[in-house]
Structure 1
């Protein structure tokens, strides 16, 4: 607790017009794309709104030029043929240019804790290993 009475949790939040507090992401999970900060949770909400997508997670992927780029792991609905280019195009129409997803991988399930929190470190490790193995 700080002297002004604030408790630093590392959460990103906002108050709406009615005074309700909304927690939207974790500060340490932000993707640093060039000079911008990209919140993965925002992109995940857009991805999960796509009818062909069952679940999704967004991670930082190292990029020599940008520092990090947003990479999506996507679980398709059974029988869906949606591809990487289609997903990137759908998201690009909904977000600022610096928030665009620049890489997509398809997996069978998003790794999560028993409480349902995305295990981003497992996805980052998987992405960096260059593994084509299924999670």
Structure 2
């Protein structure tokens, strides 16, 4: 089990990363577990965040199926809430949220977090906005595809430029495999990426590619998604 220090243990120093959401509240226990095996993971390894404590819910009102899916018991009989969040705790006990489990891209035997790739893309000087979504692939199952909005002065930016930029910053299995240039990324009023819209859009792109002997790695779209 990976025990996270609570705020009572904070020595006043700052988190090791600006993306940390901090330490646990008092009287809350956490466990980071492997998504496949359910085994507890050590610090700096990403897995699903499980929580337990007096402030954690006991179940969903009049929804037994949802309660059974969300609450699990370990070998000691302790009940944990499966948050559905992919997280890790750093060596100083600060918790970091990587992505939602349901958003993970299943590339071969690996799972790729879109949010991690989006953070990398956001650092590119020629990219104004970007989002990553899965694209069906016969060999890999799914591949990460970047939908990219170029800055006005970066009209020369090409797909391979984006792919190479990401390639040098992530593990090989996390590489962006295709790039689609778009006019806008679909977002909710609060700024959340509408991933269902992206997936639907990419299915349309895949349909347009049918019948071509060699599908181009990039589709230039002039209208908003």
> TM-score, normalised to structure 2's length?
0.57
Deviation of the 1:95 alpha carbon: 1.3
Out of 185, 188, 209, the position equivalent to 1:110 is 185
1:89 matched residue in structure 2: 164
Higher relative contact order (CA 8 A, sep 6+): 1
**Structure 2 regions of 5+ residues with no counterpart?**
1-70, 209-220
Aligned-residue offset at 1:104 = 0.4
Report which of the two structures shows the higher radius of gyration computed on alpha carbons.
2
| Residue segments in structure 1 that go unaligned for 5+ positions in a row | none
Moved more, 101-110 or 12-21: 12-21
Aligned to 1:75: 149
Cα root mean square deviation, aligned:
1.4
Query: Which segments of structure 1 move beyond 4 Å, counting only runs of 4 or more?
Result: none
Corresponding residue pairs, total: 135
Distance in 2 of aligned mates of 1:2 and 1:61? 32
Q: How many angstroms apart in 2 are the aligned matches of 1:20 and 1:89?
A: 31
Distance 2:180 2:89 in 1: 34
Where 1:32 maps in the other structure, the secondary structure is strand
Separation (CA, whole Å) in 2 of partners of 1:14 and 1:92: 23
